[in-house]
Amino acid sequence: MIAALSQNTVNLAYLVAAVCFVVGIRMLSSPRTARVGNVVSAAGMIVAIVFTLLLESVDRYAFVLAGIAIGATIGAVGARTVRMTAMPQMVALLNGAGGGAAAGVAIAEFDRLTRFGGTPPGETAAAIVTSTVLGGLTLAGSVVAFGKLQELIRGRPIVFPGQQVVNALVFSAAVALAVISAPAGETWLLGLAFVVAAVFGVLFVLPIGGADMPVVIALLNAFSGLGAVGAGFVLDNNALIIGGALVGASGTLLTLLMAKAMNRSVANVLFGAFGQIQTSLGERGEVEGTVRATTPHDVAVQLSYSRKVIIVPGYGMAVAQAQHDIGALADLLAEQGVDVKYAIHPVAGRMPGHMNVLLAEAQVPYSQLYEMERINPEFPQADVALVIGANDVTNPAANTDPASPIYGMPILEVDKAASVVVLKRSMNPGFSGIDNDLYLDPKTTMLFGDARESVLHLITAMKDQ
């Protein structure tokens, strides 16, 4: 024991930590102050950790330091080596780690409380149930989300008949096991509840398609926060309650924002299995029209003679790692006097803010990035809308076709531009499996190929002129 601080002193340190977290998040409201805000949050975390280590009850330092060393190594190596395009996967894994830790805390504390035949008091038991079940489902759900984003698991929705009944039963079983473990005082029952909750996590995320990932990641973020809140109630620890509540609020808010950007309820995203709707509708008449393929040279000429070009990036940009070359192309256009802007749809990509991060990596000034509401009125004045790997967020059917599954979803109105150039790998429909009539529009031309290679060809063609 190095020094023995009273619980009261440590609680005051937790108050300092909580203030740091709130100020840190507050400073995220502007890119200028955001990085310092992150440092402020870190200061709060360090205060909380150091004072906890000095608590009288903490004295197994060898184990504690071992755990911190292992975790810190994994975290630091992971965070430094992950590519910006893999950020959604990274965030998913971090959600899972936090959820798993919360469950671990609850299970270990349960075991301590019941070691000598005791049972936890009612409110502690309720908190243990909450963090074990939420933790198990967040951990496993995040791993599946990671697998989907890393393309280890099919991104398309995976569905089977009676799925929702099965899911509901599995979830109920997890909760029931956790609840009966308390009066029984049996840790293995709680452990089983954790495992069953993990099975539910897998079943829960598997049917959700790739395009709906922004909602899922935000929701798992909220769950991991609530898991921490639960652990806070288990240990009567204010730092965990406040920190968890902040994260729960953030995750909930993002979940609602993402669902709103798709004009769907959260329930519909989670239980609707997007791709299914389209197939069950059957063929809604063969689509008429022809697709016009074009060449990099023609697009280069078209772009050079434009006054205003709006670039619309999507997940395809992330897959092809094309952000740097797109930035270079935009600079080249700007040098020729073309007005270049980027249109960012809230659910473009696989997590909230995905496109912004990639374009920031490519050093695109954020003054050129426009959110949907601000850029939509500008499409009618644009000579070219350059769509790079975006699909569903540009589909005019969302405005015009009540039979379309995405009808009512706010979209980037690229079809209002004088002409549209779409960079796309092939004519395969997007992740949601919905046809995009934009590609058949007479003013649309398609430049097929990997987004990055196409952009590089464009740059070469522009320089050759």
Partner 1 sequence: MDVLLAIELTILVLAAFLGFEVISKVPAMLHTPLMSGANFIHGIVIVGAILVLGKADDTFTRVVGLLALALATANVVGGWFVTDRMLGMFKRRPEPPRKDDA
Query: Which of these segments, 204-212, 294-302, 344-352, 446-454, binds partner 1 (CB under 8 A)?
Result: 344-352
Tell whether residue 117 is a contact of partner 1 (CB under 8 A): no
Q: Where are the beta strands (DSSP E) in 281-327?
A: 308-313
CB of 194 to partner 1, least distance (A): 10
Examine the residue annotation and report whether 437 is marked as an active-site residue of this protein.
Answer: no
Phi-psi label, residue 450: left if phi above 0, alpha if psi -120 to 50, beta otherwise: beta
CB of 435 to partner 1, least distance (A): 28
**Could you give the string, one character per residue 178-207, with x where binding to partner 1 holds by CB under 8 A and - elsewhere?**
---------x--------------------
With CA atoms as reference, report the closest residue to 163 among 194, 105, 202.
Answer: 202
**Number of helices (H) and strands (E), helices first, in the chain?**
18, 6
CA dist., res. 143 & res. 33, Å (int): 33
Residue placing its CB nearer to partner 1 in the complex, 239 or 412 = 239
Task: Pick between residue 111 and residue 383 the one whose CB is nearest to partner 1.
Answer: 111
Range 242-281, binding partner 1 (CB under 8 A) = 242-254, 257
Q: Which residues of 186-209 are buried (b: 16+ CB within 10 A; e: fewer)?
A: bbebbbbbbebbbbbbbbbbbbbb
Closest CA to 359 of 29, 31, 24, 28: 31
Q: How many residues does the chain have?
A: 465
Q: Which is nearer to partner 1, 115 or 292 (CB)?
A: 115
State in angstroms the smallest separation of the CB of 462 from partner 1. 14
Query: Which one of 298, 325, 331, 392 is the catalytic residue?
Result: 392
Query: What DSSP state is assigned to residue 362?
Result: T
Write down the H helix ranges in 115-186: 122-149, 163-184
376 lies in the binding site for partner 1 (CB under 8 A): no
For residues 7-46, which are near partner 1 according to CB under 8 A? 14, 17-18, 21-22, 24-26, 28-32, 34-35, 37-38, 41-42, 45
Contact stretch for partner 1 (CB under 8 A) within 229-237, 388-396, 401-409, 412-420: 229-237
Q: Check binding of 115 to partner 1 (CB under 8 A).
A: yes
Nearest residue to 388 via CA among 340, 331, 457, 446? 446
- Sign, CA torsion 141/350/294/323: negative
Q: Which of 109, 325, 437, 441 binds partner 1 (CB under 8 A)?
A: 109
**Beta carbon of residue 434, minimum distance to partner 1 (angstroms, whole number):** 24
Residue 343 found at the interface with partner 1 (CB under 8 A): no
* Cα–Cα nearest to 116, from 187, 56, 191, 57: 187
Binder of partner 1 out of 49, 173, 180, 291 (CB under 8 A): 49
- List binders of partner 1 among 58-87 (CB under 8 A): 58-61, 63-64, 66-68, 70-72, 74-76, 78-80, 82, 84, 87
Tokens of 72: 């810190």
Which residues are catalytic, by number?
A: 392
